[in-house]
Structure 1
Amino acid sequence: MMKINICACFLLWATLAQAQQKSKFTSYVNPFIGTGAVDKNSLSGSNFPGPTMPFGFVQISPDTQDNPDNPASGYDYNDKTIVGFSHTHLSGTGVADLFDVLFMPATGPILPVPGDANKPQSGYRSRFSHQDEAARPGYYQVKLQDYGINAELTATEHTGIHRYTFPKTGNGHVIIDMDHSLNKKRDYWSCKIIGAEIKVVDNKTVEGYRIITGWAKLRKVYFHAEFSQPIVSQTLFNGSQPFESINIINGTNIKAALNFNTTSNQQLLVKVALSPVSIDNARQNMKAELPGWNFDETVNKASSAWEKELSKIEIEGTQEQKQIFYTGMYHAFTQPNNMADVNGDYQATDMTIKNAPDKKHYSTFSLWDTYRAAHPLYTLIQPERTANFINSMMRQYDTYGYLPIWQLWGDENYCMIGNHAIPVIVDAALKGLKGFDLDKAYQAVKGSSNIDHPGSPFAVWEKYKYIPEDLQSQSVSITLEMAYDDWCVAQLAKKLGKNDDYEHFMQRSEFYQNLYDKQTGFFRAKNKNGDWIAPFNPLQYGGNGGNPYTEGNAWQYFWYVPQNIPGLIKLVGGNKAFTAKLDQFFSLKDLPGEVNGNASGFIGQYAHGNEPSHHVAYLYNYAQQPWKTQSYVAKVLNELYNNSSSGYSGNEDCGQMSSWYIFSAMGFYPVNPANGLYSIGSPVLKQAIIKLDNGKTFTVTTQNAAKANCYIQSLKLNGKPYTHTYLTHEDILRGGKLEFVMGSKPNYKWGTGNTSN
């Protein structure tokens, strides 16, 4: 009997251990994915490896560059030295900013400059090796070789905590650099420090701030830092000028070297709380989130927070697929960032201090990228946060007059085109999300569609019914994207019974047709007189101005009519002509001499490394050739993502590149991000269980999942044969099961008797 009980206990223990091990979704996250390209001329993701909380304000991470520029995250896996650990970063963007309040531990002589990357000991930077570096959600560690210091980092929502283990020396230092920023030599951002301060409050406390311009026009960053050991002495620097007998320094290029006796106590902990509002608020943030000094407990809390978020989708697949998938979720949930302090204070777009009653005010809205798939993912599995995002966007409407285009640190930077907060809000409204005022939301989307602002010239739009290139650069891309935004406004007007508005915005949503040139078969630029602008080369790339196309060419922008794909097919001449053009798009390899730097991950003219191409592989579904959608989606999933430092085929763009993978790996994707339909592709996972906010689950299973088996042989929804090439949002919310059977050869009959919208 005793033996039976022992066996039963062992089996129970084994079962519990297995369940516990299975639940560790964080074990699949590799924060080094997307941190460095193998080829110096390619893009890798522009991600950072340091710890942060889900949607948190502080992102504490190593910077490998003195003046970060490219990659925009400040960390390049290919670099050999670290200049320090700053407390704010951007994940996956194409433009650098933040890098606030840099701390760096050191030993030996103090030099108030970062140093030369090729001569590490010329300043305070240090060499490091990936062999002595580790990262996981909520934790980062690296050995600083030049100092023999082991540096560890973790974070709460508003606070970073450092644990430095020094060698036995009485000459340990911590450098605080308030000049560290993006590249100030890039004239187009005009980055400069307007003013900064460092104040040694007592022998365990330092506070300060800086006011800086950059990609965000004006940012205020306040910090409160506490040390576990007393500061023995300090040297404050204004430029290269040292001051050893003062406790406070102000200027535009200031640093501090704090000295500690690390002979008997080699471990030094540093807590650094940030606020965009005031030093007092930074103090409150630390008191609320990190009153003690338990580093390991803070790591565990951060890990648990990430475990909760990552558990929203449970998958079965290969080890590599799990790493790509859960790292993708990790990157998608790194932003938007909650800019509100623990008391709810935040800096509004009019530079005043306001208060969010729910203590949530989000920024870092990379909307030109994220409205396509990241925000539909949030709407599906982060509905409460989506409502908070929308309330935050509408606060910009209140103080600024229109919704965000690209909002950073509560400041509108006007990067990119269109007004893509509109589809985010409309998508949530049409899907019935609660937590925001629907009537006010409509006022915001309609109001933002009638006020001229950079990237969305509505007076010109109404007058010409297209955007003339001689009045507004990037005219073709703006025309196509504004037409889609107008369609979104129309759908919300329809839902609210505003029929006149519905008709008006639906008419505007068809303005894209006015730039279609039947002779060339492309959307191309006209001037204000209605004349085509020549010469025309559909392969010629544009960047972010001076060309009709935004970060793409006429081939890539031809497909951007997600609101009316049947209309686009008709414009071309029917399914046969449309699929022939798609075939040419995916096979035409000719590239001009100069390709925009954001274009990468090519399959013919398809460039997965940038967002205008992201929906195109799914368009075969709309023209009776779904097997080609399956083939190209599988090709992108299997060839253009990996689990290395060069894991992305372009900038990760605040979760968009990851969200494409998350949706597509499960077998479907929101081609039109606001119509409640998901176009079916080619799943690569054996199983995915989506845990919905309503308590239900939607399970996707794949029989014969393998790289060679990219074609759908049959499909069942809730046990019944399913031949549509789309799912509805309601299908998922009701819960149930979608069952794929895959094979190595196309089933030309499946999915050809219907269209996707």
Structure 2
Amino acid sequence: MLLALICAATQVNAQNARLTNYVNPFIGTGAVKSSLSGNTYPGATVPFGMVQLSPDTRDEPDWDAACGYDHNDTFIAGFSHTHLSGTGVAELFDVLFMPITGEIKTRAGDKNQPYSGYGSAFSHDQESARPGYYQVKLKDHDVNVELTAAAHSGFHKYTFPKGKQARVVIDLNHSMKKGNWGCHVVSAQFRMVNDHAIEGYRVITGWAKLRKIYFYAEFSKPVKGNDFVDGGTQYFNQTVINGTDLRAILDFDTDDKPLLAKIGLSAVSPENAKLNLTTEIPGWDFDKTVAAADAQWEQELEKIKVQGTPDQMQIFYTGLYHAFIQPNNLADVNGDYVGSDYAVRNDKNGFYSTFSLWDTYRATHPLYTLIQPQRDAAFVNSMLRQYETYGYLPIWQLWGQENYCMIGNHAIPVVVDAVLKGLPGIDAERAYEAVKKSSTTDHPGSPFKVWEQYHYMPENIQTQSVSLTLEMAYDDWCVAQLAKKLGKTEDYQHFMERSAYFKNLYDKSTGFFRSKDDKGNFIAPFSPLEYGGNGGNPFTEGNAWQYFWYVPQDIKGLIALTGGEKNFAAKLDTFFTLSSKNREVNGNASGFIGQYAHGNEPSQHVTYLYDYAGQPWKTQQYVNKVMNELYNTSSSGYSGNDDCGQMSSWYVFSSMGFYPVNPTSGIYAIGSPTMKKAVMQVGDKTFTVTAANVSAKNIYIQSAKLNGKKHDRVYITQQDITTGGTLEFVMGPKPNKSWGAKPADRPQ
């Protein structure tokens, strides 16, 4: 009886616990055994906020710590206010603050070498993090640092040791490794406003070109003196300094009270930086700001309420947290923002950037259409603003600027999906104009004149040709669907024809998509195991095995090319069991199950393809295997870069039991639910998924009901979800091979 009461009390406490308690910001922050980990940071931010205030464990972060932080490091260079979550390129790291005691080392030797004169050792047993809050003890300075944030503002709390000199370094030269992507500081400035405030800016170019970052900082104590440093030259107690290698060292009295520092950021002006700060954090109550950040996260996480094991809950809500870190609203509190043409404009609905679209169009944006429809509409309208000033939709947009990273133009499926699903506030005709123009205008990575001339990408004209052919064909299918909706019949037929160009690279003799030259000849030698990176090979961050399955718009056509469902399923069997590797594996490929590489996006839909071939129990097997073996609660909790929430979104969908194989179709293939219950808030309705008997062994679907009626289809639709209702699974330890196996039950 006592045990039953304890179990009941534990269940009630779990149900009543704040969802933010399940978020572990350290998941994905550091690899083990030379693997990938997620490349996420543990610092403080709020949902979709511009400021991400987090420690940098490198003087000049590079690709292996692109978020600025590596859990394996024992050194902190300082705390900068902007970061990227899960990307493969290190960028941002703006306006670094670091509290210190005593003197700092001066720069010696080559000015271009990293500078670590004020950094400190730290240990994880004196470090903690939760949504909207980060804390660490700096060993070398004996300073306890606490951080929190608002949308455009950061809030620092430094507890200095008694009797020690209290100083704060502000570094405007801290950035990714200089020279990478042409990174260098163009100009920078500090200006003392009064004895409690300092403002400044830097103009820096790198992965995003010519970014302007203004800041305004206030302190709870007066500045007793300042030392402005430009390179190796010091200027004491000056009011203003301009240069390209600037640091400010500010002195404060040491007493029993912590030093508080509030910093506002803006891409527009120092006045707007101050306005952002005074609007978002008007007072000096640090704990109140922490509570406000936690409340914002709680509100967003409540959009899906799940019941599972403690580890499942932790992975799920950390994943949802990572999915909601970006895109970031660059518009100031008054609506001002800087567009892709560097002109200042205004939109009270915000201007969002950080679009890792080659990744996030697959699952993250479909997730937004369900639980963040208003925000996803704002994301789309922000993309349309780039089209208006730039001529085509974003490919990889950062700080409002296009950096042309990756291939294709995957803003197209995001925009089309939003319109087809009826998200509010999007002009469908304007959206169609943008996707059509973006599908017919040559730009880096998508030469459409070549596409129209050859009906495939010849490798001797355009490298990464096979991946480009497959991905552009999918984008064209998306354009065709919007043309159909709007009654543009001629355009529909043209883009549907282009969406079938993938067939022109299929080699029946090998059973793979292969590169051709501009004469129509397959290029030899060929090995389906040989990897490509980001140029110089027909495949992008993968091989022919991994890209074979990338025809989400026409899986029936792919099955036909393979020789029918039996051959298709047999090829999937080989794909998941063939472990041999040829030559060097691309560094982005990780999380292997045979040739399946969950650590990078081209593979991530493939576990669900058995649903299309009448063997859904194998989808259930492999989806469950991925969730249980390639996600965990440690610092190496992801099998590859999280890529702005895509890896996380895969888990969020899959743990509930379904996934958008074709992200723009509004159809979700069913996998293997691991949560006992999931309740998704969709507008004013809820969609509930239950999985009776689910456990580590009971991974196979025995039967299902949708709204009380027998459900044998191995898919559900957007309408099934958004109209509200309940999807009930009964789980068991062995496959029920009759469930979902009929042709009529397969995804369309």
TM-score by length of structure 1 reads: 0.95
Among candidates 197, 200, 215, match of residue 207 of structure 2 = 215
1:259 equivalent in structure 2: 251
**Bigger Cα displacement from structure 2, 607-616 vs 106-115:** 106-115
1:518 equivalent in structure 2: 508
2:320 partner letter:
M
Among candidates 721, 730, 737, match of residue 726 of structure 2 = 737
Q: Following superposition of structure 1 onto structure 2, how do residues 334-413 of structure 1 map, counting pairs within 5 Å? A: 334-358=325-349, 360-413=350-403
SS state at 2:570 partner: helix
Matched, 1:724 2:717: no
Q: State whether residues 83 and 114 of structure 1, in contact with CA within 8 Å, keep that contact through their aligned partners in structure 2.
A: no
Q: State whether residues 533 and 540 of structure 2, in contact with CA within 8 Å, keep that contact through their aligned partners in structure 1.
A: yes
1:8 equivalent in structure 2: none
- Report the CA distance between 1:248 and its aligned residue: 1.6
Q: State whether residues 528 and 544 of structure 2, in contact with CA within 8 Å, keep that contact through their aligned partners in structure 1.
A: yes
SS state at 2:435 partner: helix
Say if 1:354 and 1:740 are closer, same or farther in 2 by CA, change over 3 A.
Answer: same
Say if 1:666 and 1:294 are closer, same or farther in 2 by CA, change over 3 A.
Answer: same
1:424 partner letter:
V
Q: State whether residues 702 and 730 of structure 2, in contact with CA within 8 Å, keep that contact through their aligned partners in structure 1.
A: yes
Q: Deviations over 1:505-525 (max 9, x none)?
A: 000000000000101110010
1:509 equivalent in structure 2: 499
Matched, 1:26 2:20: yes
Among candidates 129, 151, 167, match of residue 157 of structure 1 = 151
2:265 partner letter:
L
- Report the CA distance between 1:697 and its aligned residue: 0.8
CA RMSD, Structure 1 to Structure 2 (Å): 1.8
- Report the CA distance between 1:19 and its aligned residue: 7.5
Q: State whether residues 273 and 286 of structure 1, in contact with CA within 8 Å, keep that contact through their aligned partners in structure 2.
A: yes
SS state at 2:83 partner: coil
1:470, 1:448 → 2: CA distance?
24
Matched, 1:477 2:470: no
1:6 equivalent in structure 2: none
2:534, 2:628 → 1: CA distance?
30
- Report the CA distance between 1:111 and its aligned residue: 2.5
Among candidates 441, 450, 466, match of residue 460 of structure 1 = 450
- Report the CA distance between 1:283 and its aligned residue: 1.0
2:161 equivalent in structure 1: 167
Q: State whether residues 68 and 183 of structure 1, in contact with CA within 8 Å, keep that contact through their aligned partners in structure 2.
A: yes
1:351, 1:469 → 2: CA distance?
36
Matched, 1:301 2:292: yes
1:193, 1:123 → 2: CA distance?
20
Q: Which runs of 5+ in 2 are unaligned?
A: none
2:560, 2:16 → 1: CA distance?
50
SS state at 2:253 partner: strand
Q: State whether residues 675 and 691 of structure 2, in contact with CA within 8 Å, keep that contact through their aligned partners in structure 1.
A: yes
2:332 partner letter:
D
2:337, 2:316 → 1: CA distance?
33
2:194, 2:256 → 1: CA distance?
20
1:71, 1:635 → 2: CA distance?
28
Matched, 1:63 2:22: no
Matched, 1:268 2:262: no
1:346 partner letter:
Y
Matched, 1:746 2:738: no
Q: Deviations over 1:101-135 (max 9, x none)?
A: 000000011225699xxxx9972111111111110
1:369 partner letter:
D
Q: State whether residues 363 and 410 of structure 1, in contact with CA within 8 Å, keep that contact through their aligned partners in structure 2.
A: yes
Q: State whether residues 413 and 478 of structure 2, in contact with CA within 8 Å, keep that contact through their aligned partners in structure 1.
A: yes
Q: Deviations over 1:345-374 (max 9, x none)?
A: 11111111111132x100000000000000
2:283 equivalent in structure 1: 292
Q: State whether residues 102 and 164 of structure 2, in contact with CA within 8 Å, keep that contact through their aligned partners in structure 1.
A: no
- Report the CA distance between 1:23 and its aligned residue: 4.8
Matched, 1:626 2:616: yes
4+ long deviations beyond 3 Å: 17-21, 112-115
1:496 partner letter:
L
Q: Which runs of 5+ in 1 are unaligned?
A: 1-10
Among candidates 27, 37, 49, match of residue 44 of structure 1 = 37
2:519, 2:205 → 1: CA distance?
40
1:519 partner letter:
S
- Report the CA distance between 1:252 and its aligned residue: 1.1
Among candidates 114, 122, 129, match of residue 128 of structure 1 = 122
TM-score by length of structure 2 reads: 0.96
Q: Deviations over 1:67-87 (max 9, x none)?
A: 001220000011001110000
2:401, 2:738 → 1: CA distance?
52
Q: Deviations over 1:223-251 (max 9, x none)?
A: 00001000111111111221114222111
2:252 partner letter:
F
1:274, 1:554 → 2: CA distance?
45
Q: Deviations over 1:35-63 (max 9, x none)?
A: 00112x21000000001010000000000
1:596, 1:583 → 2: CA distance?
23
Among candidates 264, 270, 276, match of residue 279 of structure 1 = 270
1:87 equivalent in structure 2: 81
1:462, 1:299 → 2: CA distance?
55
Q: State whether residues 168 and 266 of structure 1, in contact with CA within 8 Å, keep that contact through their aligned partners in structure 2.
A: no
2:699 equivalent in structure 1: 710
Q: Deviations over 1:696-738 (max 9, x none)?
A: 1111011111121111111111111111010011111111111
- Report the CA distance between 1:751 and its aligned residue: 0.5
1:697 partner letter:
T
Matched, 1:663 2:657: no
Q: Following superposition of structure 1 onto structure 2, how do residues 570-581 of structure 1 map, counting pairs within 5 Å? A: 570-581=560-571
SS state at 2:688 partner: strand
1:71 partner letter:
A
Aligned pair count?
A: 736
2:544 equivalent in structure 1: 554
Q: State whether residues 59 and 115 of structure 2, in contact with CA within 8 Å, keep that contact through their aligned partners in structure 1.
A: no
**Bigger Cα displacement from structure 2, 120-129 vs 560-569:** 120-129
2:191 equivalent in structure 1: 199
**Bigger Cα displacement from structure 2, 714-723 vs 332-341:** 714-723
2:507, 2:668 → 1: CA distance?
30
Q: State whether residues 77 and 116 of structure 2, in contact with CA within 8 Å, keep that contact through their aligned partners in structure 1.
A: no
Q: Deviations over 1:567-587 (max 9, x none)?
A: 000011001111111111101
1:4 equivalent in structure 2: none
Q: State whether residues 331 and 658 of structure 1, in contact with CA within 8 Å, keep that contact through their aligned partners in structure 2.
A: yes
2:292, 2:302 → 1: CA distance?
15
2:442 partner letter:
D
Matched, 1:443 2:436: no
1:47 partner letter:
T
Q: Deviations over 1:581-631 (max 9, x none)?
A: 111110110112311110000000000000000100100110111111010
1:32 partner letter:
F
**Bigger Cα displacement from structure 2, 211-220 vs 674-683:** 211-220
Q: Deviations over 1:243-275 (max 9, x none)?
A: 11422211111101101111x244100001000
Q: Deviations over 1:179-210 (max 9, x none)?
A: 10001143xx1111111111122111111111
Say if 1:355 and 1:746 are closer, same or farther in 2 by CA, change over 3 A.
Answer: same
1:121, 1:504 → 2: CA distance?
56
Q: State whether residues 166 and 253 of structure 2, in contact with CA within 8 Å, keep that contact through their aligned partners in structure 1.
A: yes
Q: Following superposition of structure 1 onto structure 2, how do residues 523-534 of structure 1 map, counting pairs within 5 Å? A: 523-534=513-524
Q: State whether residues 167 and 266 of structure 1, in contact with CA within 8 Å, keep that contact through their aligned partners in structure 2.
A: no
Say if 1:114 and 1:226 are closer, same or farther in 2 by CA, change over 3 A.
Answer: farther
1:621, 1:305 → 2: CA distance?
38
1:385, 1:174 → 2: CA distance?
37
Q: State whether residues 114 and 124 of structure 1, in contact with CA within 8 Å, keep that contact through their aligned partners in structure 2.
A: no
Q: State whether residues 137 and 306 of structure 1, in contact with CA within 8 Å, keep that contact through their aligned partners in structure 2.
A: yes
SS state at 1:169 partner: coil
**Bigger Cα displacement from structure 2, 281-290 vs 43-52:** 281-290
1:3 equivalent in structure 2: none
Alignment identity in percent? Answer: 64
